[in-house]
Amino acid sequence: MKKELWYEVNDQRIDLSKVTRLYPAALIHAGGESASVSLEWAEMKADLIALEAYLLVCDFDPVGEVPVNRVELRFDTKEALFDAMQEIARKVQG
C-alpha cells in the first residue's frame, strides 16, 4: 500500500502518492490564446509571448494514457515554482 504524501499550496491539496507525472511548465498568452509550454520554450520565445504564470503540472492518469485527470498549480515566479519542486522532492524522498 502506498503511503499518502500530501502537498498543499494555494488552497489546493495534492496526494503525491497518486501522481503519475509531475513536471514544470509555463502558461503563456500568444495569438489570443493561452497554452502550457515547456519552460525552455517560453524562455526562448520570451520576446514573442506574454507569460501568465509558472505551472507545476500533476497528472494522475496511468503513464501512456492521455492525461485527463490533471491539476496545475500556479506560481507567480520561477523561484516559487522551483521552491515547490524542492519541497515536493523532500517529501517524496522522505
73: closest CA among 86, 89, 60, 55? 55
Per-residue pLDDT of the chain (94 residues; tens, 9 = 90+): 456 688 888 788 898 889 999 999 999 987 888 999 999 999 999 998 899 999 999 999 998 888 889 999 999 999 999 999 999 988 888 7
Q: Taking the complete model, does pTM exceed 0.85, yes or no?
A: no
Rg of the chain in Å (alpha carbons): 14
C-beta separation of 26 from 50 below 8 A: no
- Judged by phi (left if over 0) then psi (alpha if -120 to 50, else beta), residue 58 lies in beta
DSSP code for 39: H
Rounded CA-CA distance 22/87 in Å is 13
Phi then psi dihedrals of residue 3, to 5 deg? -75, 140
